[in-house]
A and B are shown apart, each in its own frame.
Chain A
């Protein structure tokens, strides 16, 4: 863990205190780690950055917020979903073929360690304290819980086939997981470590967005061309939003990626094969606009200023910057092979 920036400090301290010997030196590592972490947070996180994971290049490509390529970070095999830690000093990246969560230091722009996961992890969530990683494990059909500190697996919950989307509730007590095969959303009690309820949604449910009040869970159904809205109070589907795009057949509308808009008043959905993204109004549950982007638009993230949305296009190997207000693509920039997720650091 944190190899790059702990090792050098640790060795320096160890050599300074050579009298203590190896054992004592090892016991110091926790302190050193805390010190190193403190040092990291003290260092400024690079601003004006957009991070895109590329599934087939095993890299995270770094852009500025205007879409200019800045650099690339080598990570583990087949990087997919990404999340920042609390202070954005780290990016966690889920590596589907590397069976690990890569830990990327945003300041140095390097992968500094990893947390082993099970076979073919796809999407993950974090406990509210940021200590536990909950990941969907496609090949074993489980949701695994892993401790970031000890790097140990804590437990697993058996779920339906090909689990994908996961959302940990803000109180950390429950999580929702989609099963693409069973066509359900599992409502999982993280304390009891079991499924409490299976909520039947559309065909091939994929990802989630939680409304800011925490009352509605939005679920994208890839093969039903719609979004199910689940009430988090009683775990029932209370509404379904159907997509229609002029000139595009229903079967070509395959919603997958979802994100809340910067103001929390809208949800953006990547419509996959339809090569569009849609903005849905959280209050009225209506489609506000659809925007033409690249091929198989899945990943999306808004700039916190609410002006730009970044969309990764998995089949055209590029990223589209969308003008949120005008509802138009501003520009599309090449990324590496099969871009998956995107993170924005203003």
Chain B
């Protein structure tokens, strides 16, 4: 049976030398692409781990920075506070913007697409270099409003930077929700908001979580805007939004590498390692959340 099928197939598409060459070329190309993506990941991770581990002290986690030495507790806590703030601020605004774009900005009564201004604005915003955002944040918030280096200024600049990603991710995820779900909800007479919460957002949840994750990873790894807005602080974060600088992990990575002391270099790599771990933990957490909530997803059909 199999032989016969093969025979027929090869008759219809003779395995010419050209076809075989094309086949090999595609395989090699695909493997090369894979290597180009995987190699830097492995390289970066291996390098950071290899340089951080030999000098690793657990006390880094629980002591604060003193000059260019000491630990990174202040920076770790600062980064976590910043991530939480971005999650709340950018998450809220970004998801709402995405919901608006996907669900309510459809076609106006005149047939023209609404929400074009919002969509164009998010596109432009996602193209603005982060250092420019940082500078504007510094001029407007830190010196303009006299907020000084502060948590709020940093949060606002980081949020402005990642809101486009969240809005776009949410919009895309919502657009991928099958029409049949929407029609089913409509035909049952579900109020639009109820259907959105109970059926549509639930289906789009993995996409939204992914966009939040990317937003958090970007903000956690961002340096330029924070140099301008958060400043640097060697104490643990204070419960104050204004006039109080805050530490973060990318600062030692960026700054300490330039100091002529081994201790400063070690701290730079420790900070890089901790950042990597934070991002990995975020990834795993997001996966777990998505898996928990997608028990009933159509794509989960065995």
Q: Do A and B come from one complex?
A: no
